[in-house]
Structure 1
Amino acid sequence: MALQPQKFLELLHREQVEFIVIGGVAAIGHGAARTTLDIDIVYSRSESNLTRLVTALKDLNPRLRDAPANLPFLFDEQSLKNGLNFTLRTDVGDIDLMGEIIGGGDFADLKPHSVSIEFNGFDCLILDLPMLIHVKRAAGRPKDYDAIAELEILLEERIRQSATDENHENG
């Protein structure tokens, strides 16, 4: 199934799930010219948020990705409490639900390093560029190295543009 990030994000927004988009979709949100096959989020592990997350995803037929078809898996609050990170296949594509990430921590740790972007009429938190670069570097995956190079260029351009804007305001 082709990834439908807009449907997934709309469901999370509708149920008021606390989450931050990370990974390739966050990179695209910052202007990267990338494609991605899944959407990655870090979610708050508060009990009320787990309930909202299950409500948001229950009709998407979430199942464990790359697991044997006969492996029983019930997507509910207890499963989320007992686990941390879940790679899921759903009716809107592949989704990675991360309770915490290497180099970044959990939702509370990452929230100060996130920015809000407008997405299809609602606000959505994504990791800011410096933290996105940091966590991709910390993950150390070969597929992230090209992304890191592009994200660093975007960050340099933003810094340069900010300095130019500041000079115009002061000059």
Structure 2
Amino acid sequence: MNPEAVFQALAEEEVEFVLVGGLAATAHGASLVTFDIDLCFRRTDENCERLARALGRLEMEIFPPRQSPIPITPELLQSYRLLHLRGPAGRLDLLAEIPGLGPYDDLFPETTRIDLLGISVPVLTLDQLIRAKSVLQQSKDRQHLDQLLQVRRLREGGEE
């Protein structure tokens, strides 16, 4: 996984997005292992055009692969609620909205910016991550929630 290449392409194309999921949790201090980058993006025509250009530069393809490759177009980006991609920079999941938080326009105002690999990246806040994980039911989400709550306790001066 090469997050630097992904964030650089997104920044250069001025894509409006928020980092969510495992990498966002690790940016806040959780010790999670993640193998992909999860992003929630603004679904305007203009932003989907910029995102499609960035994904083209990154040579991203839909995963799992189809018999005939499907071009990643702005229209395709607007039609999916969840899109799994992969390319030389690694795996990327694009989400239309975050359970418990809503779409980009609802969650962006509360986000924070974190310097990741020299690039200022919009990231869900720790509280947003906790709210999102609280509504999910998979065991990995419960484990992530426990870690996020532990990070919050440590930040508030509590014990481990």
User: For structure 1, which segment, 148-157 or 114-123, has the greater mean C-alpha deviation from structure 2 after superposition?
Assistant: 114-123
Q: CA RMSD in A?
A: 1.5
Question: Any idea what the Cα deviations from partners look like across 1:107-133, whole Å, max 9, x if unmatched?
Answer: 011112311111222311111111101
Tell me the equivalent position of 1:168: none
Question: Any idea what the Cα deviations from partners look like across 1:38-81, whole Å, max 9, x if unmatched?
Answer: 010000111111111011110322222125x3054110111112
Distance in 2, matches of 1:110 and 1:128, equals 10
Asked whether 1:133 is paired with 2:130, we answer: yes
Distance 1:156 1:118, change over 3 A: same
Asked whether 1:156 is paired with 2:153, we answer: yes
Asked whether 1:59 is paired with 2:57, we answer: yes
Where do 1:69-148 residues align within 5 Å?
69-148=66-145
Overall identity of the aligned pairs, in % = 31
Q: Larger Cα Rg: Structure 1 or Structure 2?
A: 1
Q: Which amino acid aligns with 2:141?
A: D
Query: Where has structure 1 moved over 3 Å in runs of 4 or more?
Result: none
Distance in 2, matches of 1:32 and 1:8, equals 21
Q: Say if 2:9 and 2:58, in contact at 8 Å, map to a contact too.
A: no
Distance in 2, matches of 1:157 and 1:96, equals 29
Q: Say if 2:114 and 2:123, in contact at 8 Å, map to a contact too.
A: yes
User: For structure 1, which segment, 39-48 or 55-64, has the greater mean C-alpha deviation from structure 2 after superposition?
Assistant: 55-64
The number of equivalent residue pairs is 158
User: For structure 1, which segment, 85-94 or 58-67, has the greater mean C-alpha deviation from structure 2 after superposition?
Assistant: 58-67
Which structure: greater helix fraction?
1
Unaligned runs of 5+ in 2: none
Distance in 2, matches of 1:37 and 1:93, equals 8
Q: Which amino acid aligns with 1:146?
A: Q
TM-score (norm 2): 0.91
